[in-house]
Amino acid sequence: MEMRQLRYFVTVAQEANFTRAAARLHLAQPGLSAQVRQLERELGQPLLDRSGGSVTLTEVGEAVLPYARAALAAADAVRRTVEEFTGLLRGQVAIGFVSGALGHAFDLPSVLAGFHDDHPQVEIALTEDTSERMLAALHRGELDIAVIGLAREDSPPGISLHVVIDEPVVVAAAPDHPVLALGGREGLALAELRDRPLISLPRGTGLRGVLERACAQAGFRPRVAFEAAAPRVLAQLAARGLGVAVVPALEAGAAAAFGVRTREITAPGLRARVALAWRTDGPAGPAATAFLRVLRAALPARRGDEFPAPRESGP
């Protein structure tokens, strides 16, 4: 039994057709058929039923298929590990990030460029989405690493976090907006936002989750009049008098440039937190593990916020 025969068998099972499988494997169809029949002869049992219009698995084939896939995955892992130790890192890394989260945290293009220079044979796929959908993609194995906004204080099940941004949440409004005159010197109470038109990040983002959870605990639902994917756009909408934006803290210069003034929400105090996230059992391959190591080095954790604690064998 050879690994290539197992790969041929798995591909035919996936395609349910010898012609399509041969094209996918860049083989001649007679040669592919001969190799699969050789595997069946060695095992002493037919794995594929060729009698119908499409190729289907026999009962034995159904039982063998998971083991064949596992053997191929183990062989690929061996090859990738050896390549990593010999400096020939290959593979793919799938990364997701929330819009606007990285602008003042670090220069993502430079980190990507540096990693690509060191490992030119690694393919990197970069996507943008909401934190909620990216967490689901991490669990499904569709993403290796994600930069997400956190809606809760604790770590999602099965996910490790490395917090890189931890800032107070503020309201931003046009300078003459009446909400800016409310509250005391310490800040603004969340209850003052009841029934006011708010400008917020979309559902599924970490900051929106923080806002909705806090409002629910205060006994009301936020009245979100406008949504935008980037905090700077929220501030710009607020400057035009369209409502009160709920955003991470803005530097005084940035607030003035956007044409808004801000007040911190202090009763209760809310935090806008952004973190690197990955599956606790580790990324799928050496390439993703290496890139996670680079990201964590480029982004020191804020206030020691890293949980669960990374494994000693991890990146």
73 and 209 both lie in a single domain: no
Question: What is the mean predicted confidence (pLDDT) over 22-34?
Answer: 90
pLDDT for residue 106 = 62
Which helix (H) or strand (E) segment is 48 a member of? strand 48-49
Question: What is the mean predicted confidence (pLDDT) over 64-87?
Answer: 83
117 and 23 both lie in a single domain: no
71 and 170 both lie in a single domain: no
Q: What is the DSSP letter of 302?
A: G
Q: Contact at 8 Å (CB) between 102 and 128?
A: no
pLDDT for residue 299 = 79
In a domain, 315, yes or no: no
* Average pLDDT of every residue of the chain: 87
Domain end call among 70, 85, 100: 85
Task: Spell out the residues 6+ positions from residue 47 whose beta carbon is closer than 8 angstroms to its own.
Answer: 9, 36, 39, 40, 57, 58, 60, 61, 64
In a domain, 312, yes or no: no
Query: What is the pTM assigned to this prediction?
Result: 0.65
pLDDT for residue 286 = 81
Q: Contact at 8 Å (CB) between 49 and 56?
A: yes
Could you give the number of structural domains in the chain?
Answer: 3
171 and 142 both lie in a single domain: no
18 and 156 both lie in a single domain: no
178 and 302 both lie in a single domain: no
- 61: its two tokens: 């084939």
pLDDT tens column, 52-75: 778 999 999 999 999 999 999 898
pLDDT for residue 311 = 44
The CATH number assigned to the domain holding 21 equals 1.10.10.10
241 and 265 both lie in a single domain: yes
In a domain, 314, yes or no: no
Residue 136: band (very low, low, confident or very high) from pLDDT cuts 50, 70, 90: very high
Q: What is the DSSP letter of 229?
A: S
Question: Phi and psi at residue 203, in whole multiples of 5°?
Answer: -60, 145
Which helix (H) or strand (E) segment is 74 a member of? helix 59-85
Domain end call among 57, 85, 113: 85
Distance CA 229, CA 169 (A): 16
pLDDT for residue 296 = 87
Domain end call among 67, 85, 103: 85
pLDDT for residue 121 = 84
97 and 68 both lie in a single domain: no
Distance CA 173, CA 187 (A): 14
Angle, CA 254 vertex, CA 249 and CA 256 arms, to 5°: 110
- 278: its two tokens: 């990955």
Question: What is the mean predicted confidence (pLDDT) over 266-280?
Answer: 91
Residue 120: band (very low, low, confident or very high) from pLDDT cuts 50, 70, 90: confident
- Reply yes or no on whether the pLDDT at 187 is more than 60: yes
pLDDT for residue 100 = 61
9 and 64 both lie in a single domain: yes
pLDDT for residue 87 = 63
pLDDT for residue 53 = 77
Which helix (H) or strand (E) segment is 21 a member of? helix 18-25
Q: Contact at 8 Å (CB) between 47 and 10?
A: no
- Reply yes or no on whether the pLDDT at 220 is more than 90: yes
The CATH number assigned to the domain holding 174 equals 3.40.190.10
- Reply yes or no on whether the pLDDT at 169 is more than 70: yes
Distance CA 147, CA 126 (A): 11
Is the Cα torsion angle 207, 213, 217, 222 positive or negative in sign? positive
Is the Cα torsion angle 34, 35, 38, 43 positive or negative in sign? negative
In a domain, 183, yes or no: yes
- 136: its two tokens: 């689901």
134 and 170 both lie in a single domain: no
In percent, the amount of the chain with pLDDT more than 90 equals 51
Which has the higher per-residue pLDDT, 286 or 28? 28
pLDDT for residue 308 = 55
10 and 49 both lie in a single domain: yes
Q: 């796929």: which residue's tokens?
A: 125
Domain encompassing residue 24: 3-85
Query: Under the phi-then-psi rule, with left for phi > 0, alpha for psi from -120 to 50, and beta for the rest, what region is 247?
Result: beta
Question: What is the mean predicted confidence (pLDDT) over 300-304?
Answer: 60
Q: Contact at 8 Å (CB) between 171 and 193?
A: yes
103 and 184 both lie in a single domain: no
Q: What is the DSSP letter of 286?
A: H
- 187: its two tokens: 């800040």
